[in-house]
Each structure stands twice: as structure tokens, then as C-alpha cells.
Amino acid sequence: MLVERNDPMLPRWYRIQHRREELANTFTVTLEPQDHEDIPVFDCGQFNMLYVFGVGEIPISISGDPAHPAPLIHTIRAVGNVSNGLQGLKSGALIGVRGPFGTPWPLALAEGKDLLLIAGGLGLAPLRSVMYHVIAHRKAYGRVTLLYGARTPEDMLYRQECEHWRAHLDLDVAVTVDRATESWRGSVGVVTRLIAHALFDPAKTLAFVCGPEVMMRFCAQELEKCRVPGEQIFISMERNMKCAIGFCGHCQYGPFFICKDGPVLPYYQVKDLLRKREI
Amino acid sequence: MPDYDRLLAAHPFFNEFQADYLHQIACLATTVCYERNAYIFHEGDAAEQFYLITRGHVMLETFGVERRGSISIETIEAGEVLGWSWLFAPYRWHFSARTLEEVEVIVLDGVSLRYMCEADPMFGYALLKHMAVIIMQRLQRTRLQLIDMYRADGG
Amino acid sequence: MHSSPSINDQLIMQCEQFEQLLQRLQQREYHVLGPTVRNQAIVYDTLTSIADLPKGYTDEQDGGSYRLKQRHDDAFFGYAVGPHSWKQFLHPPITRIWRAKRDGSSFHIAKEDKGIPKYAFIGVRSCELHAIAIQDRVFLQGACTDPGYQERRQDLFIVAINCGQAGGTCFCASMQTGPRATFGYDLALTEIVDTRQHFFVVHIGTELGAEMMDGLVCQQASPDDLQRDEQIVACTAQTMGRQMATSPVELKGLLARNLEHPRWEEVAGRCLSCTNCTMVCPTCFCTTVEDVIDLAGEETERVRKWDSCFNLDFSYLYGGSVRASAKSRYRQWMTHKLSTWYDQFGSSGCVGCGRCITWCPVAIDITEEVRAIYDSEQKE
């Protein structure tokens, strides 16, 4: 039967090319479309809806290089029915994909400015695309700093890549863990601690923050203490998304539909809401 | 000998202090360098110094038999201050401080600072107020560590 | 000499011609829907003739209360709105989005291609015209359009009715959404009934509306008829059972300023989270999607169903629900309806139909909740 491409609720089938275990319950899949046609281009920070046959659909941010949209790359943590279903799939299995959806990190706005990327936990996944883009267009930006906080050294995502980025002379990379293991030689303490020690010109800095909501809230407060204006801080929000096109209403956050007005939002627009519970 | 008046005035902890206070404190200052993996102080020892880290990273740590070796608590780095046990009875270090790399510190004689606080309440208030900010920041950071925000279920 | 009717004409239509209009719509292959009595309520269903209309009935509505009563005349539209709204046809409670079948290591998707009927709605109230326009903005005027809604909406023929009687929970006058139909109809009727006569003043809104009236024996409405039409609707506006404390635009800021008001806790103490208010609301559009898989795991279908922000799972995010308390869910519903709807779609999401008040089992009244918050600000 003919499938209409213009129905935004219809997925395309992608085959799992390769899967890689990242952490205990976190894995990365690379995907190629079954129809062998082009993969849509995406902007850093956007997400796709991934569908497991008979189980359901979840939003997952894209973690690949925007300059090379093929294959499609997603890092997924198994926490619910669908993500557990995804974890059970082997290479060669088919999944449905809709997207990309949502607002991107405002990279064009960051050109000529210092760029401060702050990731917490799995929040590094949507910022990895930004790292790829920035490294490929390094001259377009001033100082580039990545601050990454993880739960423990074992919970650090993309650890080898972080080491690789740290070796770049024109990138500042600082990593910290909430809880160290004995062999850990690096920094211990919450990620907000790293902000005051990073080198950036607050008036000319764009900060992209991604992680658990509580982490983003305290990072944004710390950034403001360091005199980064709220207009220059961007966060990536997460809410329950069912349709990703603003129809189902599930992902509402005050006036915003996180699926289409977000996930990336300027901090000053959500600052007051972030202070309120159960919005 | 380094110009401690200037160095202290440039440090975030002391930059709001009056010049005459700074000069008195500068008289208590020396600079010490540590190798990597050296202990600046040990848990339980007499606490008599106040450290301003000017280069490198230091780990605050403790130990236990359940977890062999050291238990890391928090990293303190250049630009921050280290140690407040010299200010409060029983004047013993609560944790140990170990260098993670080559570290340079300005060491201030804590016992003399304490006498200055007692003798001049204006000075004492200024020092305690700045120390309270440091203690508050460390407490807030510790609380964020405690909530375990990256837990797999979203914390 | 007979002249064809045209847009903005005002005609007098007798009951006999009304019946002919319905027959004509059916001949043109419209699925004609309108009010009818079922299970002691006036609901929307298929009409085969004007005999299916709730002739001689009225309703008594109040918080948590709805009763049908006999009228002293034969009015077809002498009541307010019932538990149904037109959204059940344009945005159905359950739709299959697609189904897929496993085929070796591959899947085949079959989109729903069930023919969608051409609908004619009879007796659409002004508040409901506003509600349809609001859902149009949700489903048709954003970056994405809902193809199913578009298909159901595009051939819709609307016969509106100007309200001749306000219900006990009606407050469209204060929401500026009625009681007179001012847009979005093909034909709008005002029913005039007394001991001597029973007819309709017909306002023609579109070319298609004019075409449907063409050939029906109708006179031009006289100035007297039009004056009666005016009086009837003006009287309805004066007798609304409920009233919002302030204008719809003011409500936006009022609620945005009061997200932490103690009133939310109070209303949450009564709210049962039963979702009735969202189901009967003609503008609530939220849905969920469920997967239904056969036992063999070979065939699955994705089904879209109406959902409600009062359901605990609505805001589920791995660890649990974002809005775990009844207070936060009620606040979400009401602030969305009256405040953030403006940010999202440029208007209020409330049309003052009063259904949420009538069908709330514990008689929570949105106008009363607004007034409590409004009054507390006046005291400050």
C-alpha cells in the first residue's frame, strides 16, 4: 500500500546498522533507512521519534555530526518500555523514525562569541553534535569550553571522545564526577563548581546547558552569578512527547510545547517557570 | 619575596578587605609548593594554616576500611581557599588535603589570624562573613551532589 | 419574480422549508448531524428529518446537574448545549493512525484510508463556532497540519443557530463568543416561535449556503422580523447563568500572575481528576497514542485517543509524573484554557459553553474559580 510522506505521524523504517554499549544501560545505535533514500538533515539539538514495533514511540535527541546526517546516530538510555525495547533489538532490526523535530541550539548566534557547553549525565548526547560542529568550524568561535559532570567515572558518556577533545589545544574540557572511585584522578564535585573556573568573557558568551532539569536550573543560576546574561543561556527541556508536532498536548510547559517551541529554549523565557513545581 | 599585599588584594577572598588589614595579613603569608600526590594536611592533625590555592588542584578526602584507600570528597582548585578548621575549636583538620598535581599555595598563619579576629571584631566580622560565603557555597554544592541528579530514573 | 439568494441575505424560512433543507443536504451526500434526544440528554447524532430534533424540549443546567424538561412550545432549539460537542466528529475520540504488519525482517505500514464522510452540522451554537475555529488553529494553522482533521473539516457544511435561550451554566457573553453567530457558518438561523407562528430567520454566510437555500420558498425578512431576531438574541445575552469576573484578555494575565495561589489547593480538594471537564470541553484537544498488538506479535496498530491533562500518566517522564498532584493538574487545565492558550494560539481556549460546570460531578465551576482569584487580587 502506498504510504504518504506528508502525514507527520507516519514513520520511516530504519535498520539498525550497528550498536555500541556505552554504559551499563546506555547504548548508541547507528541507523540507515530501509528505503536507501537520503536521511533528512538535522540541526544540533533536534530529536527524532523512535518507534519499536508494537511497543511505542519515544523522543531521542540526535547525537551525530550534523555535517554527516547518514548514518543516523542516537544514544539511548534504557529507562522505560520503549527504550528497553530498543535495547533488546540487535543489529539488522527495523525501527520506525519520525523527525527531526524541535528547535536547535543557536549556533549561528554563537559565532564570534565564546561558547560554554555544560552537560550533565546523559545531557552530553545532544551536545556531542555541537562539539562536532564546533570542531569543524573552530575559527567561527572564540573560546570553546565543555564542562561535563557525571555521576561516577563509570557513568561518563563518550569517555574516549572526551579525552580526545581534551587533547585539542583550542578546546577547554573539564570533567567532574559527583562520586569518585578510587582510581579516579580527576575532579570531584558537582558540575556547577566548574563554571567559576572556566575562562570566558561573560558579556560575549553563549552557554548551552543540557542535563537533568535541576542541574540546568542551578547551572543557569551559577552562570548568572558569573554575569552571563539570561538571554545568552540556552537549556534543553524534556517533557513527555507523544506526537512531536504540537497536537497531543502532553509536552506542554507553561505556554510552550517542548516538542516544537523547544527542546532548546532561552533560559530567560523559562526562568520563572523553572522555579515553580509541577508546571 | 612576593608582593603579598598585591597578591591578596587580587584574591577573590580578600579583595574587599581594607588595605591596612591586607597589609597585616600579608605579614603572615608565605608561599609553598607541593609535588603531585603530596598531603597538604592530614585528617586529625592540628589545623593552624589557611591556604589560598594559586596553582593546581587539591582533593579533599577521607578514608575507611569498607572502601580501601581514599574516599574523595571534593576537588578544590586555583582561585579557591582551602581549610577553615583553624578558625573553629578543636582546631583539628576534619579531612585530608592531597595534591592532584603540582600545587602552589599562599599559606597564612591561621593562629595569628584567629588572634586578629578576637582583638578586632571589625576584622573578625569581615573574615567570618567571607568564610561563611565559602562554607555556604561548599554546602550548596554538597547538597547538589547528595541529590544524585543523574540517577538513571531521572533522580 | 424569484431571485436567487446571496451572501448576507436574510430570509424567512418556515418549518416545511427547514425540512426541505435537511433533505437537500442528504441528497447532496452530506451526513447530516444535529441535536437529538437520547438517554435523557440532548446529544449530537445523525438526523434524517426535523422530526429527530428535540422539539418541545429544554434543559435545566447548573453545577453538576442536567435535566431535560418539556417546553410550553414546539421550539426545535429551545435549550443550551448538551454533553456532546462537534469535536467528536472533527477530532474523533478514537482514530487509528496506521497499522503495520511484520513481513519477514521488514514491516508494512497501511495508512487508514477509510472514506471520511462529508458532514453537515445542524444547530451549531456561536460558542461552538468559536470552538471549531479554535481547534482549526490547533490542527490546521501551525507548522504541521493534521491530515485527518483537515479532511473532515474541509467539506463541512454548518447551519448555526442563534441562541434563543441561555443555559444555567452558559457564559459566552462574558467570553465574547456569543450568543449570536457572527462567522464560520454557511447558514445561521434564529428560531422564532410563539402561539401564532413558528419560523426561522436565515442569515446566509457563504455562497454554498446561498446555493442550498436557492429554490426553497422563502421571503425576505422584514424589519420587524429582524428586530425580533435582535431582541431574542439580546435577551439571551442578558440571561446567562454564569459570568466570568473579567474579560478574556485580562484572564490571561490574572492566572499567569497567580500560579501559586492558595485557591488551587482548595479546588484540588474537591476535584476527582475524573477528566469529565476535558472530555466535554469543545476545545480540549489532547490525545495519547496507544499501540495495540496482536497476540502473535505480527500485526500492530497505532491508535490515537482523547487524553486528559487530569490523567496522572499525561505528564509521565521516566521517574514519574511531572504533575503528580491534583492541584497541579487542575492548574494546568485552567491556566492552559484561559491563559497560555493565548501564547500558543492567540486566543482564549474557553468559549463559555458551560459544559465543564454542568458535567463536573462535584460542580466545580470555572467562573467561580476565576472569581476567587480575581477577588483576592482586588482586595490587595
**B83-103 residue pLDDT tens:** 999 999 999 999 999 999 999
Q: A168: Cβ–Cβ under 8 A, 6 or more apart, which residues? A: A135
Cβ <8 Å between B153 and C318: yes
Which residues have CB under 8 Å from C362's CB, separation 6+?
C64, C270, C271, C272
Mean pLDDT of C114-119: 85
Q: What is the Cα–Cα distance from C26 to C120, expressed in whole angstroms?
A: 9
Q: How far apart are CA C245 and CA C122, in angstroms?
A: 32
Task: Inform me whether the pLDDT recorded for C337 exceeds 50.
Answer: yes
Within 8 A of C318 by CB-CB distance, chain B residues are: 153-154
What SS3 class is residue C158? strand
Q: What is the band of C318 on the pLDDT scale with cuts at 50, 70, 90?
A: confident
Handedness of CA A149, A154, A158, A164 (dihedral sign): positive
Rounded to whole angstroms, the Cα distance separating C85 from A103 reads: 35
**Cα separation of C161 and C146, whole Å?**
28
Residue C150 sits at the vertex; the CA angle it makes with C145 and C155, to the nearest 5 degrees, is: 160
Taking each continuous run of H as one helix and of E as one strand, the counts in chain A are 7, 15
Chain C residues in contact with A94 (beta carbon < 8 A): 105-107
CB B14 within 8 A of CB B108: no
Residue among C135, C144, C345 with most chain A CBs within 10 A, to mutate: C144
Give the count of alpha carbons within 13 A of B124, CB side only. 12
Grid cell listed for B155: 533522580
Residue B49: predicted pLDDT = 97
Contact between chains at C322 and A255 (C-beta distance less than 8 A): no
Residue C296 confidence (pLDDT) = 87
From residue C316, alpha-carbon distances to A256, B154, C309 in Å are 17, 12, 11
Do the beta carbons of residue C242 and residue C365 sit within 8 Å? yes
Place of cell 582510581: A183
pLDDT at A3 > cutoff 50: no
Contact C204, C6 (CB under 8 A): yes
Backbone angles phi, psi at B31, to 5 degrees: -110, 135
Check: CB of residue A141 under 8 Å from CB of residue A134.
Answer: yes
For residue B77, give the amino acid letter: E
Contacts of A157 in chain B (CB under 8 A): none
The pLDDT of residue C99: 92
Q: Count of alpha carbons within 13 Å of B44, Cβ hemisphere only?
A: 2
Whether residues A94 and C105 touch (CB distance < 8 A) is answered with: yes
CATH number of this structure's domain A107-274: 3.40.50.80
Q: pLDDT digit string (tens) for B44-60?
A: 999 999 999 999 999 99
Please check whether residue B145 touches A, CB under 8 A: yes
Is the CB of A33 inside 8 Å of chain C's CB atoms?
no
Domain residue ranges in chain A: 12-101, 107-274
Q: Is the pLDDT of residue B67 over 70?
A: no
- For B56, name the nearest residue in chain A, comparing CA atoms only: A187
Angle of helix B121-146 relative to helix B110-119, nearest 10 degrees? 120
Strand order in the sheet with A187-188: A187-188, A172-177, A144-150, A114-120, A205-210, A233-236, A264-266
* B153 at C interface, C-beta within 8 A: yes
Q: Which three cell numbers stand for residue C307?
A: 487524553
B141, A151: Cβ pair inside 8 Å?
no
Which of C306, C303, C305 lies closest to C100 in space, CA to CA? C303
Summarize the confidence of residues B102-118 as an average pLDDT: 96
- Neighbours of C (≥3 Cβ pairs closer than 8 A)? A, B
Asked if A91 is an interface residue toward chain C (Cβ–Cβ < 8 A), one would say no
Cβ contacts from A onto B, under 8 A: 70
Cell numbers 414546539 correspond to C74
CA C57 to chain CA centroid, Å, is 20
* For range C230-247, the mean pLDDT: 97
Task: Say whether C318 and B155 touch across the interface (CB within 8 A).
Answer: no
Q: Residue C1 pLDDT more than 80? A: no
C-alpha–C-alpha distance, residues A199 and A142, integer Å: 11
The x, y and z cell numbers of residue C153, run together, are 473539516
Distance CA(C180)–CA(C173), nearest Å, equals 9
Q: What is the pLDDT of residues A30-46, one digit of tens each?
A: 999 999 999 999 999 99
Does the pLDDT of residue C178 top 80, yes or no?
A: yes
| A149 shares contact with chain B (CB less than 8 Å) | yes
Reading the block at residue A164, the C-alpha cell is 580526545
pLDDT at A84 over 80: yes
Average pLDDT, stretch A19-37? Answer: 95
* Nearest to C99, CA basis, from C374, C292, C349: C292
pLDDT band at C116 (very low <50, low <70, confident <90, very high): confident
- Whether the CB-CB separation of A95 and A20 falls below 8 Å is answered with no
Please indicate if any CB of chain B lies within 8 Å of the CB of A148: no
For residue B39, pLDDT beyond 70: yes
CB contact under 8 A, C344 and A255: yes
> Which chains touch A (3+ CB pairs under 8 A)?
B, C
pLDDT level of residue B155 (50, 70, 90 thresholds): very low
Q: Taking CB atoms and an 8 Å cutoff, what residues of chain A touch B103?
A: none
List the single residue in C with minimal CA-CA distance to B155: C319
Task: Give the C-alpha separation, A236 to A256, whole Å.
Answer: 13
- Cβ distance B150 to A184 less than 8 Å, yes or no, reads no
CB contact under 8 A, C309 and A249: yes
pLDDT of residue A2: 41
The amino acid sitting at C109 is I
User: CA end-to-end span of chain A, whole Å?
Assistant: 43
Chain C closest-CA separation from residue A82 CA (Å): 11
At residue B130, does pLDDT exceed 70? yes
Pick one of 3.40.50.2300, 3.10.28.10, 3.30.365.10, 2.40.30.10 as the CATH number of A12-101: 2.40.30.10
**Cβ separation A248–C286 shorter than 8 A:** yes
- Is C318 near chain B, with CB under 8 Å? yes
Domains of chain B by start residue, with CATH:
4-146 (2.60.120.10)
pLDDT of the residue at B151:
83
Q: Does B82 score more than 90 pLDDT?
A: yes
For residue C319, the distance in angstroms to the closest alpha carbon of chain B comes to: 5
Q: What is the pLDDT of residue C3?
A: 77
Residue A23 near residue A154 (C-beta atoms within 8 A): yes
Contact A249 C293 (CB under 8 A): no
Alpha-carbon torsion, ordered B139, B145, B148, B154, to 10 deg: 90
pLDDT (tens digit per residue) in A102-138: 999 999 999 999 999 999 999 999 999 999 999 999 9
Geometric angle at alpha carbon A50, from A47 and A51, rounded to 5°: 155
3-state secondary structure of C87: helix
Task: Classify residue B109 as left (phi > 0), alpha (psi -120 to 50) or beta.
Answer: beta
Output DSSP code: residue B46.
B
**Which chains does chain B touch, 3 or more C-beta pairs < 8 A?**
A, C
pLDDT band, very low/low/confident/very high, at A1 (cuts 50, 70, 90): very low
Mean pLDDT of A188-197: 96
Q: How confident is the model at residue B79 (pLDDT cuts 50, 70, 90)?
A: very high
DSSP type of residue C83? S
ipTM of this complex: 0.94
pTM of the prediction? 0.93
Cis bond upstream, residue C5 (ω within 30): no
If you average pLDDT over every residue of chain B, what do you get? 93
A44 touches chain B (CB under 8 A): no
- Residue C297: the pLDDT is 85
